[in-house]
Structure 1
Amino acid sequence: MEKIDTTKPVLVTGATGYVAGWVVKRLLDEGLTVHAAVRDPDNQEKLKYLNALVDTAPGKIKYFKADLLDEGSFAQAMQGCQVVFHTASPFTSKIKD
């Protein structure tokens, strides 16, 4: 199995989700740079957990606005990444009863 280049960032989609939070924690603990793809990078309440992880780990995190329903929105987040952990799922709030 090929080793990953730990100097390159790793993309985690749906980074504020439960499973992704554990993935991000492990990557940060290993000293990697995480490109965290989230729906709203300005929502500090949603990012509070991830920001706390950065405070106690050697890795770094960079947030990117991305949405599975918006074609091309992951392009910037993916730049330079060698690995992608895809944990996001499509979500829409425009459902009629």
Structure 2
Amino acid sequence: QMAFDLPVNLRTTQGFSSAFYGEEISESLFLQVLDDAGHRGDRSLEVMCHPAFIDNTIRQSAYCFPCLTELDVLTSASLKGAIAQRGYRLGSYRDV
């Protein structure tokens, strides 16, 4: 018996990672997440992330500055190229 009544045609990514988080955020960490997914055979991957611009609400968060670091890393041209070299294509849930 299933624990949840999910739609039969539910689509999702093959993999998920919450490892891109914390004080060690870097392009290297993001690429390690991709490499780990590749070793598992994941052809698609959701990476939990929290990039943000600073506003009054975010300023009150303990994760304020890591959000800025995530934004810098995730929008860097070098990361975009490294992602493509690994055979991944950036997408949204419309692509799933």
TM-score, length basis structure 1: 0.37
Which one has the largest radius of gyration?
A: 2
The answer to which structure has the higher strand fraction is 1
The answer to which structure has the higher helix fraction is 2
Q: Whose relative contact order is higher, 1 or 2, with alpha carbons under 8 Å and at least 6 apart? A: 1
TM-score, length basis structure 2: 0.37
